[in-house]
A and B are shown apart, each in its own frame.
Chain A
Amino acid sequence: EGAPVSLVRARWLQSVVISVTPSRALVDETFRVAVQNLPPGSPVTLHSLHRSEDEDLWEAFGHYVSDSRGTVSVADDFSFGGTYTGKEAMGLLWSMSPVPGSREGLRLRKKNVCIPQLVNISVYGGHVEEGFGERLPLASTLTERWHLGPGVRRIEISERGVRGTLFIPPGPGPFPGMLDMWGGGGGLLEYRSALLASHGYASLALEYFTAGELKSADKEFSYFETAFNIVREHPQVIPDRVGLFGLSLGSLMASYLAAESSVIEPRCCVCVSGGHLYPRGANLQQLFRAYSSHSHKLRVDEHNREIWRSINLPIPEDLSQKLDVGKINCPMLLVNGIDDQNWPTVECAEDMAHMMRAAGKEHLLTRIEYPDAGHLIEPPYSPHSRATKFIKDVILLWGGQTKPHADAQEDSWRNILAFLQKHLYCTQNPKAKM
C-alpha cells in the first residue's frame, strides 16, 4: 500500500506471459491460448485483433478470472462475458467482428493465401468492454493462421478458356482432385482450395465470372466440364477420383453437373447452402440473370437488408423448374443452415431427398442441417457475419447466430473432410476385413 499504481502495474508487466500453441497453424486447426504469472483470482480480458487485407480491424474478447496458480487457459476455462461466453477454445477467432466505427457490411475473406492471417492475442487487466486500442495490454503475442500448408504448390490456370488457381499437395501423388466453386459474388477465391490441398486434395478454385458481374456472366456449362477435365487430366491427379465442391450458386453448379453432364463423372459432391431450383433447358446466362434479378417476393428486414430466401418459396411442384436430381449417380453431401435467410436450402434439400428417393437414389444422399446457422457455412473459426455487402451497396441477410453458426462451421468441416476421405481416398478398414 502506498506504492503508486504504476509500480504495481510494472510488476504485473514484468511477469505476465501469454502463449498461443501452436503459434503457426492452418486455419482449421485449434490452438491453446494460455496466460501465466497473474495474481490468483484476478479478472482479465483476453483479446484478439486482426487487421484484414482491406485494412479493417476485427476483434473479439472474453472475460476470465485467473485460477489459484495465476493462470488462464482459454481451452479449459469459462469466459464470463465478451463476444463469447463459456468454454470456447477458439472463441477469440470465430466471435470476431469489425471494431466499433467500422464500415458496414464487412465480410472477412482471405485473398492472398501465400501469407498467413496475423492475429494479435493480448491480455488486459480487468474486465474490459471497449477502448482496447487506448490501453496497454499486460502481454500480447502474435499468431499466424494459414490456408496454405507447407509444400503445397499454387499454379495459376489460364488454359482452354478456364481461369482459376490449382493447388497441389506436397508429395509424389497422385492425389484425388476437386473442382471448387463459390457463389454469386463471383471473382476468384482461393482459400478453400488452398486448405483442401493442405488436406491432400488437388483442388482447382474456379473463377466463372468476375466479381460483382453475375448479371453479365456468359459461361456455358461446358466451361465447368472443361475445368473439371483440367483437374482430371493433371499428371498428379487420380482421374476417377475427382469430386465437386460448391457453396451457394457453386453448389447448384455442382448439383447440375452431377445430374446433367454427359461429359464428366464426379466421384462425389459436397454441396453447401445450395439448392436444385433451375428452369430446365435454361442456359447458364438465363439462370444467372434469374438469380440476380429481384422479384416482388423480395423482402427486407428492419435494417433494410435483403432477404432472398422467400423469392423461391414455396418449392415448386413443377419438375421443369428443378434439376432432375434423380439422375445423380454419385454420393452427395448436403450441408445447410436452418436459419439460412438467403436461400431456402433446407426446403430444397428436403425436396431433393424426395426426388432422389423416388428415383431409388436416396442411399447416395447425406444431409446435415444446423439450427441457427446461416448461409455462409465456411471453413471453421472464421467470423460469422449475419449480413454483409454483396454486390455494390446491397446488403444481404445471410442469417445465423454467431455461436451456433461457428459450431456448424466446425462440425460441417469435420464431416466434409471425412466424406471426402471416404469417397476420394480408399480407406482400407482392417476391421471390415476381419
Chain B
Amino acid sequence: MDRKRCCVKLSVHPSRGLMDEKFTVLVQNVLPGFQLTVYAFYKCEGGYSWEAFAHYTASATGAVNVSEDPSRGGTYSGVEPMGLMWSLRPVPGSKSGLRMRKMNVQTPMEVTISVYQGHLTEGFVDQVPLAAVVVERWYMAPGVRRIPITEGGLTATLFLPSGPGPFPGLLDLWGGGGKLVEYRAALLASHGIAAMALDYLTPQITKETGKMVDYEYFEAAYRVLEQHPQILGSRIAMLGLSFGTSVTLRMAVYSQVIKLRCAVCISGSHVQPIDGSVAQIMTSFNDNADKTRFNEEQHVIWRDLLMPIPTDASLKVDVGRLRCPLLLVVGEDDQNWPSYESAMDMKEMMQRAGNEHLLTVLSYPNAGHLIEPPFTPSARASAFKTISNTPQTVMVLWGGEPVAHSVAQEDSWRKTLVFLRVNLYGGSQPGAAASSHL
C-alpha cells in the first residue's frame, strides 16, 4: 500500500451546493512544493464525459487552496475558485458541438474532483489519483416544489420556492432552440421567486396543430401565475434569453393583459415587425437568411440578420412606452444576435422618450451569446437544431472567450438576482410602511 497516498486529504466545501454557489477545494497533507493536478470529471445526461484540470504547487504548509492559489496551467490558469466547473470540456475524442445542459433538475449534477501527483495534461483515466471526492451541484434548493403545468394548453413547469409564500412570480423564456428547459427557473425558485419555465416554440399545442403560439399563450401563462394562491399577482416579472427577449419586450409593451413589475432581457433584440403574430417575427428573420455568414470552421454567424438596426418604428418594439424597469444583459462578442447594437438603440429610444431611468444595461466585453447562470461551461460554438418544418442541425457560432464569458455569467447572474430582488421583493419600503402602522 502506498503510504503517501493515504496521507493526502482532499475536501470540497460545500459538498452539496446550488449550481450558482461557489465551493472551496482544499488539498492538504502533501509535502511543501509538491506538484499536483486537481481534476474534475462529469458524465452528463447525454452520456458524454467532460473534464477540467489545473496544475498547482503546494504551499510551505503542504496545502493547495483552489480559491486562493494560482493554477499554473490546465484548462484554466490563475486564481479561479470555480475554474474546475466553468472550464469543463468534452474529453479528447468526443463528438463535436456538445453543449452541457441539465434537463432533469430533480437530481444533482455529480462531479468527481480528484488530485493527481504531478502536472498531468492527459491520461487521467489510466492513473490512480491520490484522492477523490464527489460533489453534488443542485438546481433545486431543499423545499422547492416542481409542478408541471398543462392547463390552458400550456407546456410549462412551475417552480415554487420553499415556504408558505406568497412569492413574486416570473415567466422564464429560453430561445430559438425550443424545448422545455427548466434549470434557470428552478434556480430562481431556489432564490425565492416562483418561476415558470415556458416552452413556447415546441409546446404540445404546436406539435398537435402545427401552428406557433401567440399573445394568448403568454397571457395564459401570465394568468396562471397571477391567479396562483401562493403568487403575488402584482409582482410578476419576465425573463427572456435570445428569442425569448423578442417575446418579453413585445409582451411588456403591447400586451393588454400582462402587467410586468420588471423585465430581464439577455442577448436579444427589440428588432421585430411589431404588427402581426409572434410567428411572423420568426419569418422576418428567415427572410434575411442571405445575410448569414460563416467563419473559417464553417460555423454559422447569424448576427447580421437583424443588422443594421432599422430606423423604421414599425420594425422595432417601442421601448419608449415601457413602464417597468428593464435589465438588458449583452455580450459584446455575441455572434448570434446583434444584442449590443440593439441595447444601444433601445437606450437611445428610451432617452428620447424620457423613460431611460427604467433602463440598466450590463455589457460584457468578449462575452458571447449564451449568457447563462454561472459555473457551467460555455461553448463558443455548438450544434443547434433549427425549429422548422424541416429541422436541420448546424454548428452555430455563439462567440465569447471562455474566461471573459464565465466572468459575464457570474457577474450578470448576481446582478440579475439583485435586480429581481429589488423590484419584486422591495418597492414600497415595508419597514417604513409597517412601522407607521405600529
Contact = CB atoms under 8 A, between A and B. Distances in A.
Interface of A: 1, 3, 5, 8, 11-15, 17-18, 22-26, 29, 37-40, 42, 70, 116, 118, 120, 122, 136-137, 139-144, 146, 149-151, 170-172, 174-176, 200, 238-239, 241, 425-428, 430
A171 B430 contact: no
21 contacts: A8-B434, A8-B437, A8-B438, A11-B430, A11-B434, A14-B425, A15-B426, A17-B425, A23-B18, A24-B17, A29-B14, A42-B434, A140-B164, A142-B143, A144-B16, A172-B128, A174-B6, A176-B6, A428-B62, A430-B32, A430-B60
A8 B433 contact: yes
Contact of B132 (A17, A38, A171): A171
| Consensus secondary structure, chain B interface | mixed
Interface residues of B, number: 55
B210 interface: no
A14 B437 contact: no
Interface stretch (B134-142, B271-279, B330-338): B134-142
Contact of A141 (B7, B10, B134, B162): B162
B223 interface: no
Given A14-B232, A15-B426, A170-B134, A425 B31 contact: no
Contact of B136 (A29, A150, A430): A150
A309 to B, nearest CB: 40
B278 to A, nearest CB: 32
A22 B7 contact: no
A427 B128 CA distance: 21
Given A150-B134, A150-B136, A172-B128, 14 more contacts: A3-B437, A8-B433, A11-B430, A12-B434, A18-B163, A39-B430, A39-B434, A70-B431, A171-B129, A171-B132, A171-B133, A427-B29, A428-B7, A428-B62
B26 to A, nearest CB: 13
B407 interface: no
Interface string B341-385: 000000000000000000000000000000000000000000000
B192 interface: yes
Given A14-B166, A137-B163, A425-B29, A22 B434 contact: no
A24 B138 contact: yes
Interface of B: 1, 3, 5-7, 9-10, 14-18, 21, 29-32, 60-62, 110, 112, 114, 128-129, 131-136, 138, 141-143, 162-166, 168, 192, 232, 235, 425-426, 428, 430-431, 433-438
Contacts of A38: 431
Contact of B16 (A25, A175, A176): A25
Pick the most buried of B60, B134, B431: most chain A CB atoms within 10 A of its CB: B431
Nearest to B137: A150
A142 B166 contact: no
A118 B425 contact: no
Contacts of A12: 430, 434
A163 B32 CA distance: 43
B164 A170 contact: no
Closest 10 CB pairs of A and B: A151-B134, A142-B143, A24-B16, A171-B132, A150-B134, A142-B142, A140-B163, A22-B14, A39-B431, A15-B430
Contact of A11 (B1, B14, B110, B428): B428
A37 B425 contact: yes
A140 B164 CA distance: 7
A118 B14 contact: no
Contacts of A200: 9
Contacts of A5: 437
Nearest to A3: B437
A114 to B, nearest CB: 14
B378 to A, nearest CB: 25
